[in-house]
Structure 1
Amino acid sequence: MMKNGGMNILRLNLSMTPPETCRRVISCIRALDELSNFTPCVAVAMDMTAPPIRTGIFEGGIDAEVFLKEGDMIDLTMDKAYLEKSTTKQLFVDTSLFPQMISCVYRGDRIHIGDGLITLVVQTIGMNYLTCLIEEGGSHFLPQLIATADGIIISRADLGLQYSPEKIFKLQKYVISHCNVAARPVFVIGQLLESMRTKPRPTRAESTDVANAVLDGADGIILSVETSRGIFPLETLSTVDRVCREAERAFCHETYRAELKQSRLLRGLDQRDATSVTAISAVEASASCGATAIFVITTSGRSAISTATAKPSCPIIVITRDPIVARHCHAYHGLHSYVYTGPQLEDWCEDMDLRINTAISSAKERRLVSAGDTVVIVIGSLAGEGSTNTMQIFHVPDDKATLKVVSSRNNLVYPEFCSDAVEIPEEKTHQRGIDELLLPI
């Protein structure tokens, strides 16, 4: 039900879910993918955050507040005598969930307390304690962090621990815009539809919050307690699906593409290889001709991702043989994966045409395109990865016709491949002078 309701990625929290349960859920998802012939397929994301290491209680009780001064030293001790008597010099840490912590830490490593509010630098490693220097929170270089990461998740709950509420919306927009410029997928999580844990409908503020995340440029919305503990998971998913679709219709793609292009040029992030240029050209062509969809045949997924990060106003159908590539593409906005499971023909051109026509038939069934619609097809001129360099525009045929996208090139004749090439007379091949090109007045 969740799969058919619009779920693209299933998120599993490994710190709260037993391994056997994770294996059973993943096996179930993979079995459903095969039963539906990967139409659509569902990706699985692992939340690998380890269980938290709890600190002890300071003298004065659970509500006691202490001030850790920058530059002072503090011992992180495993001595349970400090469990309820921690001080600014001796802080108990519970390592029952991570008993090997001492052996995994090195001098100079940083330890963060309170979701990063306090940063400690390890100075000395003892048998059951760590002597640390209290350091002020270091600088965060967001562009470098995004460039290194495969994707970014914006947790508003975590941001709320370090920033005041009035700044959260600005931070969300700031991070999303940087991810869009760097062509990295970005997701928003945290109290999106909190009221739907117990109610079948969201508040107007919550639905507006989801829509604004889409309008900011987020690639996806992550639901957590709303679907894991809520009593209306299907209604929650359906609400998010409807709100996101409505927000996408209001998204100003042309303006956003122009701003993205300018930002990437200023930062030296514009791509000029054949695959990227072809993808950008396909997006511009789709806007000019009012295309209903863009079809991309890909081996590695790179050409499809390049197309998606250019923010087209129409859906992108990714045609691939690899289910792993298809699932990976779910992380990017606007990508609809189609796993081609048919036989591979010996003639590469005919094989490509068969994949395209099969994908178009599937897109018709999913109501992504209809007969007579204009579509853009992105493909390579050669077999293999990294050869995407061709963009063509077609009209979707009816059920009785098929497109000839690649195999039509077989009708072209190249003299250098002919066994009996025609000889051109010598007098026709000499270079003419400027006088021979002048016509009488």
Structure 2
Amino acid sequence: MRKTKIICTLGPASSDFKILKQMVDIGFDAVRLNFSHGDYDGHERLIKGINEVKKLVPRKPALLLDTQGPEIRTGKLKDDILLNAGDTFRFSVKDKFDHEFGTTINYKELIKYIKIKDRLLVDDGLLEFEVQEIHEDIIVCKVLNSGILGSNKTVNLPNIDVKMPSLTEKDIKDIDFGIIHNIDFIAVSFVKTRNDIIELKNYLKKKNKDIQVISKIEHKKAVENFDEILQVSDGIMVARGDLGVEIPYEQVPLIQEQIIRKCNIVGKPVIVATHLLNSMIENPRPTRAEVSDVSNAILSGADALMLSGETAKGKYPVESMKVLDKLCTETEKAIPCRLDEYGHEKTKTAKHIVSNAVALCANELNAKAIIAMTVTGVTAGLIGRYRINMPLFVFSPLKKIRDETKLQFGAFSYNLNIDGKTMGELIKTTISLLKGKKYLNPKDIVIITVALSGNLEPNNFVEVKIVE
């Protein structure tokens, strides 16, 4: 049973039902809908496709909506433009701009913030421009490196703090669309402060929706304000594409390590994304560097890995899934237990102590599994960080808690109906279900941790049990 969770981005390459079914059979845990591309009709078709596949398989992938956010992008071109170092190129903030060596840019306020000698990095930094002249609605630049400019490419402005809202009008409309289609997660692009997340959570509260919010760390400000962002987020995504343009690329590996560790400490899921198997967009096999990168992310403590272009537009979406699945399964064999690493923390809450006790018991007794009955998910999240060599089965009456496990390392969730049940009946029900699925056998040792509310007695305890 693979413990690392996999997220696949849906797109033209994975929209065919047959392809989608093959990918689900290999085993992804969530699908990403990238709202930087496509329209509502296209997204609706993708959602319909995944919902049809769900009916045929036991695994029920979650839906993750990835907002476009305050992205700055170039305009649409009739044809790609070949640029050579030293060329002069123009960006216009008007809606239309007809020039052989120029294109539009979708942020009209850019003129206010840009200065002579500032740099514009386009298409994830593949093209670099230096500002030479600034006019009323045109920015004249010098091309610093040769390449091809296509339509609708991202624009990054290193060290320029433009004042743009984290949630745009488009994002709100996209989120409303997602709510109608029962999305499970929202990944928020270009988060800068905790207030960006609080604003979205307040909006969801008004809509009476309790959807998991994932903060994408892809801006310099997000790195600086990470601790406060983590505090209010349900999970974190290390979005290495834009992050590697916003900050010096040589800093990305260490920042990724720091983010993963901080997420592990508080028991919140962390996703590593972008360029995992990027060469497989065109090639049937990954590079050795990509293989090492993926493996190291898992060993560092990543809960989930996300494929982007590999499954959205690549030539080998199914093969990419197979490669990532194999890499995860093989690397997990070498993940060390982290009881020593997290077992001696100076600051501990009751939940930290309980999670440590559960993990310690499970490890020392060589338990077959851990069963967590919960309405908060906090202890379950903390147990996962110890990376003990057994699955964690989370039973909860709350959909939000069950959804959360779809991005948590080693956790697998089931619905728990507690109405009118005694604690003994609940324990019997959970063990019976896991026996039926061949996860447990008679004489297996299981560790049961319970944190439920209501009239159940007792409703907060840890028990060691031998399966009958």
Is 1:281 paired with 2:357?
A: yes
Match of 1:252 in 2: 336
What displacement does 1:363 show? 4.0
Q: Which has the larger radius of gyration?
A: 1
Match of 2:373 in 1: 297
Is 1:393 paired with 2:464?
A: yes
The one of 114, 121, 127 aligned to 2:156: 114
Q: How many residues align?
A: 335
Query: Unpaired runs of 5+ in structure 2?
Result: 1-21, 76-82, 92-100, 102-109, 115-130, 140-153, 165-219
Task: Rate the CA distance shift 1:157–1:53 in 2: closer, same or farther, 3 A.
Answer: closer
Distance in structure 2 (CA, Å) of the matches to 1:344 and 1:259: 35
Q: Given residue 61 of structure 1, which amino acid in structure 2 is its aligned partner? A: F
SS of the residue corresponding to residue 45 of structure 1 reads strand
The one of 271, 276, 280 aligned to 2:349: 271
The one of 22, 42, 56 aligned to 1:21: 42
Percent identity over paired residues: 25
Paired residues for 1:145-224 under 5 Å: 145-224=229-308
Moved over 6 A (4+): 55-59, 384-387
Match of 2:446 in 1: 375
Over residues 358-417 of structure 1, what are the superposed CA-to-partner deviations in whole Å (9 max), with x where a residue is unaligned?
3322441xxx444443221222576479975222222334xxxxxxxxxxxxxxxxxxxx
Match of 1:431 in 2: none
- Would you say the 8 A contact 2:375–2:451 is kept in 1? no
- Would you say the 8 A contact 1:55–1:91 is kept in 2? no
Query: Unpaired runs of 5+ in structure 1?
Result: 65-72, 78-84, 94-111, 123-136, 398-441
Distance in structure 2 (CA, Å) of the matches to 1:142 and 1:381: 31
What displacement does 1:32 show? 4.4
- Would you say the 8 A contact 2:113–2:162 is kept in 1? no
Task: Rate the CA distance shift 1:3–1:370 in 2: closer, same or farther, 3 A.
Answer: farther
Distance in structure 1 (CA, Å) of the matches to 2:330 and 2:87: 54
SS of the residue corresponding to residue 2 of structure 1 reads helix
Q: Given residue 168 of structure 1, which amino acid in structure 2 is its aligned partner? A: V
- Would you say the 8 A contact 1:76–1:91 is kept in 2? no
Match of 1:8 in 2: 29
Is 1:75 paired with 2:112?
A: yes
Distance in structure 1 (CA, Å) of the matches to 2:283 and 2:467: 43
C-alpha RMSD over aligned residues: 3.6
What displacement does 1:347 show? 4.1
Distance in structure 1 (CA, Å) of the matches to 2:136 and 2:87: 11
Structure with the larger strand share? 2
Distance in structure 2 (CA, Å) of the matches to 1:171 and 1:386: 45
Distance in structure 2 (CA, Å) of the matches to 1:362 and 1:234: 30
Task: Rate the CA distance shift 1:299–1:87 in 2: closer, same or farther, 3 A.
Answer: same
Task: Rate the CA distance shift 1:308–1:372 in 2: closer, same or farther, 3 A.
Answer: same
- Would you say the 8 A contact 1:41–1:326 is kept in 2? no
The TM-score normalised by the length of structure 2 is 0.62
What displacement does 1:322 show? 4.1
The TM-score normalised by the length of structure 1 is 0.66
- Would you say the 8 A contact 1:298–1:385 is kept in 2? no
Q: Given residue 75 of structure 1, which amino acid in structure 2 is its aligned partner? A: K
153-162 or 304-313: bigger deviation: 304-313
Q: Given residue 358 of structure 1, which amino acid in structure 2 is its aligned partner? A: S
SS of the residue corresponding to residue 89 of structure 2 reads coil
Over residues 32-90 of structure 1, what are the superposed CA-to-partner deviations in whole Å (9 max), with x where a residue is unaligned?
44555xx43211111012473346999942599xxxxxxxx95379xxxxxxx993464
